[in-house]
Amino acid sequence: MTINEIPQSLIDRLRRARRVVFATGAGISAESGVPTFRGEGGIWNKMRPEELASVDGFMRNPNLVWEWYQHRRDLMSKVAPNPGHHAIAAFEKHFPDAVVITQNIDGLHRRAGSTRILELHGNISRNKCFDCGRLYEREIDPDAELPHCGCGGMIRPDVVWFGEMLPHDILQAAFEASEAAEVFLSVGTSAVVQPAASLPLVAARRGACLVEVNVEPTPLTPVADVFLQGKSGEILPLLLERFEARKRQIVAGDGTT
Protein backbone atom coordinates (compact mmCIF):
# COMPACT_ATOMS: atom_id res chain seq x y z
CA MET A 1 0.00 0.00 0.00
CA THR A 2 1.16 3.53 -0.77
CA ILE A 3 0.17 6.89 0.64
CA ASN A 4 -1.95 7.55 -2.43
CA GLU A 5 -4.04 4.44 -1.75
CA ILE A 6 -5.25 5.82 1.58
CA PRO A 7 -8.65 7.50 1.04
CA GLN A 8 -8.69 11.26 1.45
CA SER A 9 -12.06 10.89 3.19
CA LEU A 10 -10.33 8.97 5.99
CA ILE A 11 -7.69 11.67 6.41
CA ASP A 12 -10.39 14.33 6.60
CA ARG A 13 -12.37 12.30 9.13
CA LEU A 14 -9.28 11.86 11.32
CA ARG A 15 -8.45 15.55 11.03
CA ARG A 16 -11.85 16.53 12.40
CA ALA A 17 -11.92 13.88 15.12
CA ARG A 18 -11.35 14.36 18.82
CA ARG A 19 -12.24 10.88 20.10
CA VAL A 20 -10.28 8.08 18.41
CA VAL A 21 -9.91 4.44 19.43
CA PHE A 22 -7.14 2.07 18.36
CA ALA A 23 -8.14 -1.54 19.13
CA THR A 24 -5.24 -3.94 18.65
CA GLY A 25 -4.86 -7.70 18.58
CA ALA A 26 -2.21 -10.35 18.14
CA GLY A 27 -1.34 -9.24 14.61
CA ILE A 28 0.49 -6.07 15.67
CA SER A 29 2.49 -7.98 18.28
CA ALA A 30 3.35 -10.74 15.82
CA GLU A 31 5.09 -8.12 13.69
CA SER A 32 7.43 -7.51 16.64
CA GLY A 33 8.16 -11.22 16.88
CA VAL A 34 6.13 -11.82 20.03
CA PRO A 35 5.92 -15.62 20.32
CA THR A 36 2.61 -17.42 20.48
CA PHE A 37 1.76 -20.03 23.09
CA ARG A 38 3.51 -22.64 21.04
CA GLY A 39 6.95 -21.57 19.87
CA GLU A 40 9.04 -23.68 17.58
CA GLY A 41 10.30 -26.67 19.54
CA GLY A 42 10.62 -26.81 23.31
CA ILE A 43 8.90 -28.71 26.07
CA TRP A 44 5.84 -26.44 26.07
CA ASN A 45 4.69 -27.83 22.72
CA LYS A 46 3.77 -31.02 24.56
CA MET A 47 1.35 -29.20 26.86
CA ARG A 48 -2.01 -27.59 26.21
CA PRO A 49 -2.14 -23.85 27.01
CA GLU A 50 -5.48 -24.43 28.73
CA GLU A 51 -3.66 -26.61 31.26
CA LEU A 52 -1.21 -23.84 32.09
CA ALA A 53 -3.17 -20.61 31.61
CA SER A 54 -6.07 -21.56 33.84
CA VAL A 55 -7.11 -21.48 37.46
CA ASP A 56 -7.28 -25.28 37.55
CA GLY A 57 -3.78 -25.56 36.15
CA PHE A 58 -2.43 -23.06 38.66
CA MET A 59 -4.08 -24.83 41.59
CA ARG A 60 -2.77 -28.21 40.43
CA ASN A 61 0.80 -27.10 39.89
CA PRO A 62 1.58 -23.41 40.55
CA ASN A 63 5.33 -23.99 40.16
CA LEU A 64 4.87 -25.36 36.64
CA VAL A 65 2.62 -22.44 35.66
CA TRP A 66 5.13 -19.95 37.03
CA GLU A 67 7.96 -21.68 35.17
CA TRP A 68 5.97 -21.35 31.94
CA TYR A 69 5.22 -17.68 32.53
CA GLN A 70 8.84 -16.93 33.36
CA HIS A 71 9.74 -18.62 30.08
CA ARG A 72 7.24 -16.45 28.20
CA ARG A 73 8.46 -13.29 29.97
CA ASP A 74 12.03 -14.08 28.97
CA LEU A 75 10.93 -14.45 25.34
CA MET A 76 8.93 -11.22 25.36
CA SER A 77 11.79 -9.27 26.95
CA LYS A 78 13.74 -9.79 23.73
CA VAL A 79 11.19 -8.07 21.46
CA ALA A 80 10.56 -4.36 20.92
CA PRO A 81 7.70 -2.14 19.71
CA ASN A 82 7.48 -1.97 15.93
CA PRO A 83 6.60 1.02 13.70
CA GLY A 84 2.90 0.24 14.12
CA HIS A 85 3.11 0.68 17.91
CA HIS A 86 5.11 3.88 17.49
CA ALA A 87 2.66 5.28 14.93
CA ILE A 88 -0.25 4.73 17.32
CA ALA A 89 1.65 6.51 20.10
CA ALA A 90 2.37 9.41 17.75
CA PHE A 91 -1.27 9.56 16.63
CA GLU A 92 -2.40 9.88 20.26
CA LYS A 93 -0.74 13.28 20.56
CA HIS A 94 -3.03 14.69 17.87
CA PHE A 95 -6.34 13.86 19.59
CA PRO A 96 -7.72 15.22 22.87
CA ASP A 97 -9.30 11.85 23.67
CA ALA A 98 -7.42 8.90 22.19
CA VAL A 99 -7.63 5.41 23.68
CA VAL A 100 -5.74 2.22 22.94
CA ILE A 101 -7.73 -0.94 23.65
CA THR A 102 -5.57 -4.03 23.35
CA GLN A 103 -6.02 -7.76 23.70
CA ASN A 104 -2.26 -8.17 23.96
CA ILE A 105 -0.48 -8.72 27.25
CA ASP A 106 3.06 -7.83 26.13
CA GLY A 107 3.13 -4.16 27.20
CA LEU A 108 4.54 -3.01 23.85
CA HIS A 109 2.10 -0.11 23.51
CA ARG A 110 3.32 1.39 26.77
CA ARG A 111 6.94 0.89 25.77
CA ALA A 112 6.20 2.69 22.49
CA GLY A 113 4.89 5.72 24.38
CA SER A 114 1.12 5.25 24.49
CA THR A 115 -0.36 6.53 27.73
CA ARG A 116 -4.08 5.73 27.85
CA ILE A 117 -4.20 1.97 27.41
CA LEU A 118 -6.98 -0.46 28.31
CA GLU A 119 -5.46 -3.94 28.58
CA LEU A 120 -8.40 -6.30 28.27
CA HIS A 121 -6.39 -9.42 29.06
CA GLY A 122 -3.95 -7.97 31.58
CA ASN A 123 -0.20 -7.58 31.36
CA ILE A 124 2.32 -10.38 31.60
CA SER A 125 4.86 -8.18 33.37
CA ARG A 126 2.57 -7.59 36.37
CA ASN A 127 1.67 -9.90 39.26
CA LYS A 128 -1.26 -9.91 41.62
CA CYS A 129 -2.76 -11.83 44.53
CA PHE A 130 -4.88 -14.81 43.56
CA ASP A 131 -7.33 -14.08 46.39
CA CYS A 132 -7.65 -10.31 46.91
CA GLY A 133 -6.39 -9.11 43.52
CA ARG A 134 -3.90 -6.64 44.99
CA LEU A 135 -0.91 -5.93 42.74
CA TYR A 136 2.36 -7.48 43.90
CA GLU A 137 5.27 -5.15 43.17
CA ARG A 138 8.23 -7.29 44.21
CA GLU A 139 10.35 -9.30 41.82
CA ILE A 140 9.58 -12.99 41.48
CA ASP A 141 12.48 -15.39 41.95
CA PRO A 142 11.56 -18.53 39.99
CA ASP A 143 14.12 -20.55 41.93
CA ALA A 144 12.77 -19.57 45.35
CA GLU A 145 9.58 -20.48 47.17
CA LEU A 146 6.53 -18.94 45.54
CA PRO A 147 5.53 -15.65 47.23
CA HIS A 148 2.28 -14.94 49.01
CA CYS A 149 0.30 -11.76 49.56
CA GLY A 150 -0.16 -10.22 53.00
CA CYS A 151 -3.66 -11.72 53.00
CA GLY A 152 -2.17 -15.19 52.53
CA GLY A 153 -3.15 -15.65 48.90
CA MET A 154 -0.72 -16.97 46.30
CA ILE A 155 0.80 -14.57 43.80
CA ARG A 156 -0.07 -15.15 40.13
CA PRO A 157 0.55 -13.36 36.82
CA ASP A 158 -1.85 -10.46 36.24
CA VAL A 159 -3.37 -11.90 33.07
CA VAL A 160 -6.79 -13.26 32.20
CA TRP A 161 -6.77 -17.05 32.08
CA PHE A 162 -9.01 -19.40 30.16
CA GLY A 163 -12.44 -19.47 31.79
CA GLU A 164 -11.99 -16.14 33.61
CA MET A 165 -14.01 -12.98 33.06
CA LEU A 166 -12.30 -9.86 31.76
CA PRO A 167 -11.77 -7.12 34.37
CA HIS A 168 -15.14 -5.40 34.69
CA ASP A 169 -13.82 -1.83 34.98
CA ILE A 170 -11.48 -2.21 32.00
CA LEU A 171 -14.18 -3.79 29.84
CA GLN A 172 -16.71 -1.11 30.78
CA ALA A 173 -14.21 1.63 29.93
CA ALA A 174 -13.53 -0.06 26.57
CA PHE A 175 -17.22 -0.11 25.68
CA GLU A 176 -17.65 3.52 26.77
CA ALA A 177 -14.69 4.59 24.64
CA SER A 178 -16.06 2.66 21.67
CA GLU A 179 -19.50 4.22 22.03
CA ALA A 180 -17.96 7.71 22.05
CA ALA A 181 -15.46 7.15 19.23
CA GLU A 182 -15.61 9.26 16.10
CA VAL A 183 -13.01 7.06 14.40
CA PHE A 184 -12.39 3.45 15.44
CA LEU A 185 -9.35 1.61 14.06
CA SER A 186 -9.27 -2.18 14.42
CA VAL A 187 -5.64 -3.22 14.02
CA GLY A 188 -4.32 -6.75 13.63
CA THR A 189 -7.21 -8.59 15.23
CA SER A 190 -9.18 -11.56 13.94
CA ALA A 191 -12.44 -9.87 15.00
CA VAL A 192 -13.86 -13.14 16.31
CA VAL A 193 -12.85 -13.25 20.00
CA GLN A 194 -15.59 -11.91 22.22
CA PRO A 195 -16.25 -9.54 23.85
CA ALA A 196 -13.51 -7.57 22.07
CA ALA A 197 -15.05 -8.39 18.68
CA SER A 198 -18.17 -6.43 19.67
CA LEU A 199 -16.33 -3.15 20.26
CA PRO A 200 -15.97 -2.04 16.61
CA LEU A 201 -19.61 -2.91 15.97
CA VAL A 202 -20.66 -0.77 18.93
CA ALA A 203 -18.61 2.10 17.52
CA ALA A 204 -20.08 1.67 14.04
CA ARG A 205 -23.65 1.67 15.36
CA ARG A 206 -22.93 4.98 17.09
CA GLY A 207 -21.76 6.54 13.83
CA ALA A 208 -17.98 6.13 14.06
CA CYS A 209 -15.88 5.77 10.94
CA LEU A 210 -14.76 2.14 11.19
CA VAL A 211 -11.28 1.38 9.83
CA GLU A 212 -9.75 -2.08 9.66
CA VAL A 213 -6.01 -2.65 9.27
CA ASN A 214 -5.15 -6.29 8.71
CA VAL A 215 -3.09 -8.57 6.52
CA GLU A 216 -6.21 -10.42 5.42
CA PRO A 217 -9.98 -9.90 5.47
CA THR A 218 -11.89 -10.81 8.63
CA PRO A 219 -15.58 -11.00 9.58
CA LEU A 220 -15.30 -7.26 10.30
CA THR A 221 -14.19 -6.35 6.77
CA PRO A 222 -17.69 -6.15 5.18
CA VAL A 223 -18.78 -3.78 7.95
CA ALA A 224 -15.73 -1.50 7.85
CA ASP A 225 -15.93 1.87 6.10
CA VAL A 226 -12.27 1.51 5.13
CA PHE A 227 -10.21 -1.69 4.84
CA LEU A 228 -6.45 -1.14 4.64
CA GLN A 229 -4.86 -4.47 3.82
CA GLY A 230 -1.29 -5.08 4.90
CA LYS A 231 0.97 -5.06 7.93
CA SER A 232 0.15 -2.50 10.60
CA GLY A 233 3.84 -1.63 10.87
CA GLU A 234 3.72 -0.45 7.26
CA ILE A 235 0.21 0.97 6.95
CA LEU A 236 -0.04 2.97 10.19
CA PRO A 237 3.17 4.97 9.59
CA LEU A 238 1.89 5.79 6.08
CA LEU A 239 -1.46 6.86 7.49
CA LEU A 240 0.28 9.01 10.09
CA GLU A 241 2.49 10.60 7.43
CA ARG A 242 -0.51 11.44 5.25
CA PHE A 243 -2.47 12.77 8.23
CA GLU A 244 0.35 14.99 9.49
CA ALA A 245 1.07 16.28 5.99
CA ARG A 246 -2.57 17.33 5.64
CA LYS A 247 -2.49 19.12 8.99
CA ARG A 248 0.62 21.03 7.91
CA GLN A 249 -1.16 22.06 4.73
CA ILE A 250 -4.08 23.44 6.71
CA VAL A 251 -1.81 25.36 9.08
CA ALA A 252 0.10 26.79 6.14
CA GLY A 253 -3.15 27.89 4.52
CA ASP A 254 -2.78 25.54 1.58
CA GLY A 255 -6.00 23.64 2.18
CA THR A 256 -9.55 24.16 3.28
CA THR A 257 -10.51 23.61 6.90
- Residues of the chain above pLDDT 70, percent: 93
Closest CA to 64 of 75, 74, 53, 73: 53
Same domain? For 70 and 110 the reply is no
Do 108 and 55 lie in one domain? The reply is: no
∠ Cα 78 82 84 (to 5°): 150
Q: Which domain holds residue 246?
A: 6-34+79-121+166-252
- Whether 129 maps to a domain, the answer reads no
What is the reported pLDDT for 119? 98
Going along 17-116, which residue ranges are E strands? 19-24, 97-102
72 and 171 in a single domain? The answer is no
Q: Write out the H or E segment, with its range, that includes residue 226.
A: strand 226-229
CA Rg value for the chain: 20
95 part of a folded domain: yes
86 and 29, same structural domain? Answer: yes
| Position 41 confidence tier, pLDDT thresholds 50, 70, 90 | very low
> Model confidence at 253, in pLDDT bands (50, 70, 90)?
confident
- Residue 84 burial by Cβ neighbours in a 10 Å radius (0-12, 13-18, 19+): buried
Supply the residues annotated as catalytic: 121
Q: What is the pLDDT of residues 176-232, one digit of tens each?
A: 999 999 999 999 999 888 999 999 999 999 999 999 999 999 999 999 999 999 999
pLDDT tens digits for range 107-148: 999 999 999 999 999 999 999 999 999 999 888 776 778 899
Q: What is the pLDDT, as a whole number, of residue 42? A: 46
Question: How many domains would you assign to the chain?
Answer: 2
CATH number of the domain residue 229 falls in: 3.40.50.1220
Residue 256 has pLDDT above 70, yes or no: no
Q: How far is CA 189 from CA 40, 97, 193, in A?
A: 22, 22, 9
Q: Do 172 and 63 have their domain in common?
A: no
